[in-house]
Amino acid sequence: MADDTTTEQDLPAGDRIEQVDLQLEMQRSYLDYAMSVIVGRALPDVRDGLKPVHRRVIYTMYDGGYRPDRAFSKCTRVIGDVMGQFHPHGDSSVYDALVRLVQPWSLRYPLALGQGNFGSPGNDGAAAHRYTETKMAPLAMEMVRDIDENTVDMQDNYDGRTQEPTVLPARFPNLLVNGSVGIAVGMATNIPPHNLREVADAALWALEHPDATREELLEAAIARIKGPDFPTGAQILGVKGIHDAYRTGRGAITMRAVVNVEELQGRTCLVVTELPYQVNPDNLAEKIALLIKEGKLQGIADIRDETSGRTGQRLVIILKRDAVARVVLNNLYKHTQLQENFGANMLAIVDGVPRTLSIDAFITFWIKHQIEVIVRRTQFRLDKAEADAHIQRGYVKALDALDEVIALIRRSPDVEEARAGLIKLLDIDELQADAILALQLRRLAALERKKIQDRLAELEAEIAEYKLILADESRQRGIITDELTEIAHKYGDDRRTEILFGFDGDMSVEDLIPEEEMVVTVTRGGYIKRTRSDNYRSQHRGGKGVKGAQLRADDVVEHFFVTTTHHWLLFFTTKGRVYRAKAYELQEAGRDAKGQHVANLLALQPDEQIAQILDIRDYGVAPISRSRRAAATSRRRRSASTTPTAPGASSPSTSTRATRWCRRCSSTSRATCCWCRASASRCASPRMTTRCARWAARPRACTA
């Protein structure tokens, strides 16, 4: 009986079990998967700005005849061709990519035309692909222009039955023009779209200055490309985020909706006509309604979505009658997507490796790609022209010895004998001999002979031109310049997104608070509050007044003045220090409320008390300048030295000092009296019916 035992070496290779380290195998497998997603799925190529699925869709539409000059075709046909030839994945991923190429709110310059329901910027998705129709947009033809002239490399498809391009010629900088969004493994890209004319202008400058340094190209690109140009319009606040993204490849660009204040049927309304890029209007309306329900947004009575194909984007927010439109709008900017940040992450595939690029690098790599396209196209045309000229030269030789050629052909027993005889007679090669044998008899006419000679001369001129182009890079850049200028002139349009220069986009608390007149009350015990001025009603003669504060038995009101919520309050203390606070930071309370202690507002030191309070709108508005104060002091001193002392008056020094103090009171609005520490208008106004006791005891030399 034979031995049935076998060793591991005797087993076929497929049946062997090899011991591998699990950690190493997981690392290798994950890295392979990650690179496959990064390079082959999620990130765009810097040369044509397309992900593989978008590139395959556009090439399939071009190769299958779904072109702008043809009729619309069902999207199902396009998806079937893409899946069957180049993209062996689900139909949903292909259809989603095709829908994005059609939607005008997704791409700044759509690369496909659609007929049917391709969704909306809101929650409405596109109809099933069996209902919609599509074809290439005219601009998409520039993406595949000259692709049949060996301008790009071709590779086998997934089953090796056909060829697909590794990259499209992309005769305009599509990655900057239409942008890209993608999430890979461990990295993501988010490139904003731009205006075609601005990008073309920057590329033209780079083409005209091949010797410019990187810094010069960067500054020239920033000067010509003002900023992103989103398909939905809206506004960009400031240029800091734009410049950060252009210089470093990363930056936060603040977008803001375009909102107009309109009067509709006697009600003040906020009408949103343009939304930030990628903001869903349906979700925005739901978010606003939720914030109103939670009490985070005040002053809104109703929301209506009046968006239509005729009016465009139109979200109407109806305000309550007592609402301040600017305050409500600022709160909407703060709490909703009416103001949103676009996190630019300029990541693209460069030579098979993902890289974060500055704005000048995008232009540089595109120009490098275009030079390669022009060189390969010119070489293809040169080879074709030389091959055609080679045949024409054979025709000319045959026409010069026409009788001998005809006689040779007539006496030859077969084609091979005739071919060999022509080669020997005319000193030509086999290709030329075959072309002569295939020559039609009508080409032997005198007029046709002249056409052959003219065609040969034309080909000779083309060959010389092609050789000059291949030998001179400046000629190549000139061709790119002419073709890009033509594209920008034909397809370019005006900017949609407005850039608000000098605006940093930050929202301050003051923007959310309406400016209202307030009465500020500060007691000697240190309690402070603010009260709306309309809580104090005007009274006539005989009025008994109203209660202004709830005080303790030993407490009195020491500071009482009128200001607004946006004014600065400067608190001068007995320690020679000054604190500041906005009036809206004070606790708002009623007329008979005590308020909060000032220690909750200011970081006062022990035994430090408020000696004086000054309210100003900003630091550019000072009560009195040093120069004016010095001049007034000098005038008072001269006046005191020449003015005699009145009978019964105090000494000159006392009179002079009192006069100086009172003039200081009356010379400045909202300054405080040196005697009673009340406002000057309250202390020295002749219309006041009562005076404080300290004012009544002032020196008689006082002129207040």
Would you name the residues annotated as active-site residues? 131
Tell me the DSSP string of 297-359: S-SEEEEEE--BTTTBS-EEEEEPTT--HHHHHHHHHHHSTTEEEEEEE-EEEETTEEEE--H
Kindly state the tokens that stand for 358: 């500055």
Q: Is 151 helix (H, G, I), strand (E, B) or coil?
A: coil
Half-sphere exposure of 280 (CA within 13 A, CB side): 9
Q: How many other C-beta atoms lie within 10 A of the C-beta of residue 374?
A: 23
3-state secondary structure 531-544: EEHHHCCCCCCCCC
Fill in the amino acid letter for 539: Q
Helix axes 240-248 and 214-224, enclosed angle (nearest 10): 140
What stretch of H or E contains 403? helix 402-411
Kindly state the tokens that stand for 518: 């307030």
Backbone angles phi, psi at 301, to 5 degrees: -95, -40
Q: Is 594 helix (H, G, I), strand (E, B) or coil?
A: coil
Cα 569 to Cα 104, 359, 549, 599, 677: the distances in Å are 52, 47, 20, 15, 16
Backbone angles phi, psi at 601, to 5 degrees: -105, -40
571 pairs with which residues across the strands? 579, 613
Kindly state the tokens that stand for 58: 């556009």
672 pairs with which residues across the strands? 679
User: For residues 487, 493, 498 and 499, what is the CA-based torsion angle, rounded to 10 degrees?
Assistant: 20
What residues have CB less than 8 Å from 347, skipping those under 6 apart?
A: 43, 187, 188, 189, 191, 249, 354, 355, 356, 357
